[in-house]
């Protein structure tokens, strides 16, 4: 694992939904090292702590990364003030990403809300072998659906209020797919209750599952032990750290 | 190029900058970014007799110009430190301060005793961790307990013994005098200030431990005041820390009386902070025509 810290130019900024922004960042050495599921740790001017943001796109040829983030508080609001041409201070790429399975015939990618962006690099990797299930509060919170379609993956859309796609949670389409069988892996990112339910469904059906977690974080590289996550490894309970051991964990290891 | 070297308790530091205990682990993660030999020293993650799992998350919260933490001394235990981490650090050209903690004075002494046979350069005894129920700050907030734990550790170690003090007290100078009398070779201060944040949407404290230790630039003026008070009260060296984020801050803390400076939360904002701070100190000294950083220690001229 190799990470660096530096200031990189934002080449494209778009608002893709209410308070959700997409940045494309020119950072060849970071893009070269980045893997799906990793994150970048961004300095917010005037704040002590950096903000971890998942990687939504990796273009090694162009040397760019894409990130998509939501304004959650003052720190992300500060980052959202940056514009095209501005420099963004990143410590990246960080963390343990998703396991890519070249032999997999069918995978399911599940994103809930702002948990959908890290699924896009996976969709690009698996293409037609992937089914992407995305869940949002309502139609106006919907993001990245066109991007997912472009990858060749099958897409399933759910909203909590039925204003777009299926009226209901992402777990319903997952149950249907699981019942049909043939799924080699499920990858998911989103709110903890959603991840807990997905992990339970995968366990019941004997499907391998990886989930991406978030936690309040300080150093981002495994030194300060701030972002603890209760896990079980080798039958022993152990506080892993989201920044270094994760953000991606095997679902069976996480104690919800 | 000013001379940045300092000597604390007879130990030579190539520069006065030391990443503070807890922010820097055992150094490996930051070595990815810069060679550790750019540092004057390292204060390693607080280590106890047995492995500790630490507190439940969230352990971190942002505050105005700072942060709270309640990690709760998660560490792999002193045996792991001695077998795995220390030998590696000792191959580097820097001073290793082994930060140790315990639930009782006896436990602190047992940890120190295990280090006696190693080549670690200094021991930093943490009597001020605000995030553990037993020991920790409970030792650091009474002169009697602070002296007792210092005495017990002093008995079993010939290493230079630095006692790390809590700012959550009425008179830090009195605590410093007590540990000096009990055999401390130096004191380091300040540890974090006890603080709290509440999520007003849920009514819950942000930290799972409810309260935690506050650090970052917001605490810097308190650190300057306390270092100054302690430096005036004792005859042993003072290692200063608390909210240092620039070379100018480090110079200020040394003028207040610090012989060396630890850097904590600033590393989270800028991982290169310890290296940058040493460079900035050099620039400042050169600009003033001061030949050695030692010439500024305790030079504040109070009104």
Residue B113 clears pLDDT 70, i.e. is over it: yes
Average pLDDT, chain B: 95
**Phi then psi for A240, rounded to 5 degrees?**
-85, 175
User: Is residue B159's pLDDT more than 80?
Assistant: yes
Is residue B139 predicted with pLDDT exceeding 90? no
Report how many Cβ contacts below 8 Å link chain A to chain B: 99
**pLDDT value at residue B138:** 72
Is the CB of residue A50 less than 8 Å away from at least one CB of chain B? yes
* Residues paired with B291 in a beta bridge: none
| Cα separations in angstroms, A148 against A57, A62, A189, A210 | 11, 20, 15, 19
pTM of the entire structure? 0.95
The 10s digit of each residue's pLDDT in A140-199 is: 999 999 999 999 999 999 999 999 999 999 999 999 999 999 999 999 999 999 999 999
pLDDT at B131 over 70: no
Predicted confidence (pLDDT) per residue in A5-19, tens digit: 999 999 999 999 999
- Short-list B63, B5, B40, CA closest to B268: B63
Separation of alpha carbons B197 and A41, rounded Å: 23
How far B42 CA lies from chain A's nearest CA (Å)? 13
**What pLDDT is recorded for position A237?**
87
Both tokens of A141, joined, read 């919170």
Q: Are A82 and A19 in contact (CB under 8 A)?
A: no
Q: What angle do CA A229, A70, A52 make, to 5 degrees?
A: 40
Two structure tokens written together for B279? 């460079």
Q: How many residues does chain B have?
A: 303
The full length of chain A comes to 256
Closest chain B CA to residue A237: B53
Q: Which domains does chain A have, with CATH numbers?
A: 4-94 (2.40.30.10), 107-253 (3.40.50.80)
In whole angstroms, give the CA distance from residue B296 to residue B254: 7
Asked if B59 lies within 8 A of A226 by C-beta distance, the reply is yes
Residue A212 confidence (pLDDT): 98
Distance (Å, whole) CA A219 – CA A227: 9
Our answer to whether residue B143 is catalytic in this structure is no
Query: In the prediction, which pLDDT does B294 show?
Result: 98
Model confidence at B50: pLDDT above 80: yes
Confidence of residue A238 (pLDDT cuts 50, 70, 90): confident
Interface test with B, best of A222, A226, A256 (most B CBs within 10 A): A226
Residue B255 scores a pLDDT above 60? yes
pLDDT tens string A199-209:
999 999 999 99
Average pLDDT, chain A: 96
Q: What percentage of chain A has pLDDT greater than the value 90?
A: 96
How close does chain A come to B266, measured CA to CA in Å? 7
- Options B9, B108, B129, B143, the catalytic residue: B129
pLDDT digits (tens, 9 = 90+) for B168-205: 999 999 999 999 999 999 999 999 999 999 999 999 99
Looking at the partner chain, which of B57, B58, B62 has a beta carbon nearest the beta carbon of A48? B62
Res A1 pLDDT > 60 = no
Report DSSP state, residue A254: B
**B61 closest CB neighbour out of A4, A216, A237:** A216
What pLDDT, on the 0 to 100 scale, is given for residue B132? Answer: 65
ipTM, 2 decimals?
Answer: 0.93
- Taking 70 as the threshold, does the pLDDT of residue A52 lie above it? yes
Collect all residues of chain B within an 8 Å Cβ-Cβ radius of residue A237: 53
In the 8-state DSSP scheme, what is residue B33?
T
Smallest Cβ–Cβ distance between A222 and the set B29, B206, B270 belongs to B29
> In the structure encoding, which two tokens stand for residue A54, read together?
């998942």
Specify the DSSP element, H or E, that contains B275.
helix B273-288
- Would you place residue A235 in the very low, low, confident or very high pLDDT band (cuts 50, 70, 90)? confident
Q: What percent of chain A has pLDDT over 70?
A: 100
The residue among B24, B57, B66, B212 with the most chain A CBs within 10 A of its CB, best to mutate, is B57
Q: List Cβ neighbours of A83 (8 Å cut-off, separation of 6 or more).
A: A10, A13
């Amino acid at each position: 694992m190799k990470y660096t810290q530096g200031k990189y130019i934002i080449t494209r900024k778009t608002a893709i939904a209410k308070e959700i922004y997409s940045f494309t960042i020119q950072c060849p050495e970071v893009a070269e090292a980045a893997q799906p599921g990793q994150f970048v740790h961004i300095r917010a001017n005037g704040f002590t702590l950096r903000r971890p943001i998942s990687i939504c796109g990796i273009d090694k040829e162009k040397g760019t990364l894409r990130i998509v983030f939501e304004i959650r508080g003052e720190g992300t609001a500060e980052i959202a003030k940056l514009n095209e041409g501005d420099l963004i201070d990143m410590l990246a790429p960080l963390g343990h990403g998703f396991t890519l399975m070249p032999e997999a015939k069918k995978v399911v990618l599940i994103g809930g809300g702002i948990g959908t962006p890290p699924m896009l690099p996976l969709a690009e990797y698996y293409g037609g072998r992937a089914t992407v299930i995305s869940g949002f509060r309502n139609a106006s919170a919907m993001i990245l659906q066109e991007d997912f379609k472009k990858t060749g993956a099958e897409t399933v859309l759910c909203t909590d209020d039925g204003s777009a796609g299926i009226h209901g949670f992402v777990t319903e389409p997952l149950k249907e797919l699981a019942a049909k069988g043939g799924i080699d892996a499920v990858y998911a990112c989103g709110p903890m209750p959603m991840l807990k339910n997905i992990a339970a469904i995968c366990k019941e059906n004997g499907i391998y599952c990886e989930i991406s977690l978030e936690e309040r974080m300080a150093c981002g590289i495994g030194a300060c032990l701030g972002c603890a996550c209760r896990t079980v490894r080798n039958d022993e309970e152990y506080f892993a750290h989201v920044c270094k051991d994760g953000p991606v964990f095997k679902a069976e290891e996480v104690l919800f | 190029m000013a001379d940045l070297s300092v000597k604390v308790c007879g130990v030579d530091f190539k520069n006065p900058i030391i990443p503070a205990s807890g922010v820097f682990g055992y150094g490996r993660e930051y070595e990815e970014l810069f060679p550790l030999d750019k540092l004057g020293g390292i204060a390693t993650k607080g280590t106890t007799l047995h492995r500790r799992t630490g507190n439940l998350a969230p352990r971190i919260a942002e505050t105005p110009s700072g942060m709270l933490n309640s990690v709760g001394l998660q560490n792999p235990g002193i045996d792991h430190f001695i077998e795995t981490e220390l030998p590696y650090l000792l191959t580097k050209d820097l001073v290793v301060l082994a930060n140790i903690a315990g639930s009782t004075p006896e436990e602190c002494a047992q940890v120190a005793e295990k280090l006696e046979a190693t080549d670690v350069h200094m021991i930093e005894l943490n009597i001020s961790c605000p995030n553990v129920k037993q020991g920790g700050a409970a030792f650091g907030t009474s002169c009697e307990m602070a002296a007792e734990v210092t005495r017990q550790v002093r008995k079993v170690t010939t290493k230079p013994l630095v006692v790390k003090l809590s700012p959550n007290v009425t008179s830090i100078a009195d605590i410093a005098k007590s540990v000096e009398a009990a055999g401390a070779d130096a004191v380091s201060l300040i540890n974090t200030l006890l603080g709290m944040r509440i999520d007003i949407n849920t009514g819950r404290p942000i930290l799972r431990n409810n309260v935690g230790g506050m650090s970052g630039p917001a605490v810097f003026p308190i650190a300057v005041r306390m270092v100054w008070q302690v430096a005036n009260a004792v005859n042993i060296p003072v290692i200063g820390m608390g909210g240092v984020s620039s070379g100018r801050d480090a110079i200020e803390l040394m003028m207040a009386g610090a012989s060396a400076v630890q850097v904590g939360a600033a590393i989270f904002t800028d991982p290169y902070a310890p290296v940058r701070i040493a460079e900035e100190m050099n620039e400042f000294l050169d600009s003033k025509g001061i030949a050695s950083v030692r010439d500024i220690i305790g030079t504040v001229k109070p009104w």
